[in-house]
């Protein structure tokens, strides 16, 4: 099968949606299918995957508590049209087609077998879907809809009055399970965090507020902090006598992330909102880390409502502190959770998730039908093809 995928977000900026598309493309290539991905890129030279076609440089817009780097406008529309016309796809898989992006442009331009995957979890944030009345005629062109979680499905139902089948994000379990732990990180109790420092919803500030109590109860504990951001500014918010408990690792490659997750005793996800799935939790489970996470609905779903990790009340630093101390002081509980987590991670492996997605492709595609360029975008979508500047 010849599969086209569209990423709404910049390919060379780390993100869960981009990682999902990349892994899905690799999975289908490994199964013998031909895959092409169309995506924005800040720097075309940084895109190493030969199956990625860059569509231009994105612009930054605030979206769902973060900054989304997306691409639209007349040049982008032309590139989408040319890419679709050139490739003669059997199916077109559009990720996040409900936001102004390449995916929405592709949905408006193309005709035929199209599948949409919805990642956003924002059931209460109407502003994120303010253009929903304009989107509905476009979204109706999708033959099938996937939501990565029940929360994402609820968002779709509330704002766009349509439904979707839930298929979770996928991971390669053995990649994380087989990583070699870093010896220097295993000598003391090690707590890990991974996320962008400049996004308050990732919750790092909450973890730092819990640090004094953690240090008092577990004197040897260290916190490894990974991800892009300015560590020096964050360090100023930590009492001087506790700063040596922190180590900032910067942005990690996929291989470095696997080593990081295999080396730590406890992975902490103190996110405060805006999470539709929690792929990092599935990866931490596969690596065998004991987990403490906020009780966001998406996280509860990944963690089996507490079977695969402990949860704390969202935005409650005191409860976060208590759960970390509880887990840090109980080696038997840590080992029990590690074992359960490894078992639970299997349901997210691409060997389970990939065939589910392929089944949706078959449902969306009639015999011998192909994706084609349709008519020009309708007048109410002209805002997508205007100049980005």
Using only the alpha carbons of the chain, give its radius of gyration.
Answer: 21
Q: What confidence tens digit (pLDDT) does each residue in 236-262 have? A: 888 999 999 999 999 999 999 999 999
pLDDT of residue 361: 97
Domain 2-170+350-385 is found in CATH 3.40.50.2000: yes
pLDDT of residue 136: 72
Q: Say how far apart CA 326 and CA 361 lie, in whole Å.
A: 46
pLDDT of residue 381: 54
Q: Say how far apart CA 385 and CA 364 lie, in whole Å.
A: 27
Instruction: Look at residue 312 and give its three-state secondary structure.
Output: strand
Instruction: Look at residue 243 and give its three-state secondary structure.
Output: helix
DSSP 179: P
pLDDT of residue 374: 85
Q: Say how far apart CA 347 and CA 374 lie, in whole Å.
A: 38
Which residues lie closer than 8 Å to 147 by C-beta, 6 or more apart? 117, 118, 153, 155, 156, 164, 165, 166, 167
Listed by start position, the domains of the chain span 2-170+350-385, 173-347
pLDDT of residue 274: 82
Instruction: Look at residue 86 and give its three-state secondary structure.
Output: helix
SS3 content of the chain, % helix, strand, coil (to 5): 45, 20, 35
Residue length, the chain? 389
Q: Say how far apart CA 288 and CA 279 lie, in whole Å.
A: 14
Q: Say how far apart CA 336 and CA 340 lie, in whole Å.
A: 6
pLDDT of residue 121: 73
Q: What confidence tens digit (pLDDT) does each residue in 6-29 have? A: 999 999 988 889 999 999 999 999
> Which residues are paired to 38 by β-bridges?
6, 53
Q: Say how far apart CA 194 and CA 287 lie, in whole Å.
A: 14
Instruction: Look at residue 186 and give its three-state secondary structure.
Output: coil
DSSP string, 24-83: HHHHHHHTT-EEEEEE--S-GGG---TTEEE----EEEEETTEEEEE--SHHHHHHHHHH
pLDDT of residue 86: 96
Q: Say how far apart CA 88 and CA 77 lie, in whole Å.
A: 17
> Which residues are paired to 3 by β-bridges?
35, 91
**With contact defined as beta carbons under 8 Å apart, do 284 and 261 qualify?**
yes
Ranges in the chain, pLDDT < 70:
63-66, 122-134, 375-389
Closest CA to 118 of 203, 36, 20: 20
pLDDT of residue 162: 84
Domain 173-347 is found in CATH 3.40.50.1820: no
């Amino acid at each position: 099968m010849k599969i086209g995928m569209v990423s709404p977000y910049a390919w060379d900026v780390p993100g869960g949606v981009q990682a999902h598309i990349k892994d899905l493309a690799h999975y289908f290539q490994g199964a013998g299918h031909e895959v092409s991905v169309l995506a924005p890129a800040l720097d075309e030279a940084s895109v190493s995957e030969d199956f990625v076609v860059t569509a231009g440089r994105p612009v930054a817009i605030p979206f769902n508590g973060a900054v989304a780097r997306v691409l639209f406008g007349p040049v982008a529309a032309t590139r989408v049209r040319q890419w679709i016309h050139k490739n003669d796809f059997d199916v077109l898989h559009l990720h996040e087609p409900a936001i102004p992006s390449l995916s929405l442009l592709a949905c408006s331009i193309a005709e035929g077998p199209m599948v949409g995957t919805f990642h956003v979890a924002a059931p209460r944030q109407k502003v994120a879907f303010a253009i929903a009345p304009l989107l509905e005629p476009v979204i109706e062109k999708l033959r099938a809809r996937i939501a990565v979680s029940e929360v994402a499905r609820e968002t779709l139902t509330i704002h766009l009055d349509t439904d979707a089948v839930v298929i979770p994000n996928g991971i390669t379990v053995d990649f994380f399970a087989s990583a070699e732990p870093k010896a220097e990180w295993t000598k003391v109790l090690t707590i890990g965090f991974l996320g962008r420092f400049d996004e308050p919803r990732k919750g790092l500030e909450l973890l730092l507020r819990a640090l004094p109590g953690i240090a008092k109860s577990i004197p040897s504990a260290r916190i490894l902090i990974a991800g892009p951001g300015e560590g020096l500014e964050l360090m100023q918010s930590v009492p001087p006598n506790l700063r040596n408990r922190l180590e900032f690792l910067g942005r990690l490659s996929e291989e470095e992330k696997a080593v990081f997750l295999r080396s730590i005793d406890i992975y902490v996800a103190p996110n405060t909102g805006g999470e539709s799935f929690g792929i990092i939790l599935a990866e931490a489970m596969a690596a065998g880390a004991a987990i403490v996470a906020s009780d966001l609905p998406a996280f509860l779903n990944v963690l089996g409502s507490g079977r695969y990790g402990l949860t704390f009340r969202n935005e409650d630093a005191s409860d976060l502190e208590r759960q970390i101390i509880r887990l840090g002081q109980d080696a038997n509980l840590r080992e029990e959770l590690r074992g359960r987590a490894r078992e639970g991670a299997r349901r997210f492996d691409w060997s389970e998730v990939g065939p589910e997605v392929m089944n949706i492709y078959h449902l969306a595609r009639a015999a011998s039908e192909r994706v084609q360029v349709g008519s020009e975008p309708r007048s109410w979508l002209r805002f997508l093809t205007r100049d980005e500047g």
